[in-house]
Amino acid sequence: MGSPSNSPNAGASELALLLDPVIATGGTCSAAIQTLREWGVKRVIVVAVLGALPGLVRAANEWPEGVQIYVAGVDEDVNDRGMIKPGLGDVGDRLFLTIGK
């Protein structure tokens, strides 16, 4: 039988690299960090192309002692829809051609 979900995973990697093209509100990145931590990873390095300051702060505060974040560019804020402004637009929309759908 498997171990309970709140116990450390002896087989977990010491280090996880989390690649997130754009960190806007930080919600997805924070959830991924939390999941990796629950899995027993001891350290997470996040690499992003662009981030909004509030989202980067949220992700960094998810696990301050266990996370390092590297980002190529920072915009100051997000709009009321959670999109970085001025930003690049939604990366998923651009990749999967779902703009306006």
The domain locations on the chain are: 16-96
**Band (1; pLDDT cuts 50, 70, 90):** very low
CA–CA gap between residue 1 and residue 36 (Å, rounded): 21
Q: Does the pTM of the predicted model rise above 0.85?
A: no
pLDDT tens-place string over residues 54-69 = 999 999 999 999 999 9
**Which class is domain 16-96?**
alpha beta
Residue 25 above 90 pLDDT? yes
29-57: pLDDT as tens digits? 999 999 999 999 999 999 999 999 999 99
Tell which residue, 46, 50, 58, 43, has the closest CA to residue 19.
Answer: 46
pLDDT band at residue 11, thresholds of 50, 70 and 90?
confident
Predicted confidence at residue 45, as pLDDT, reads 98
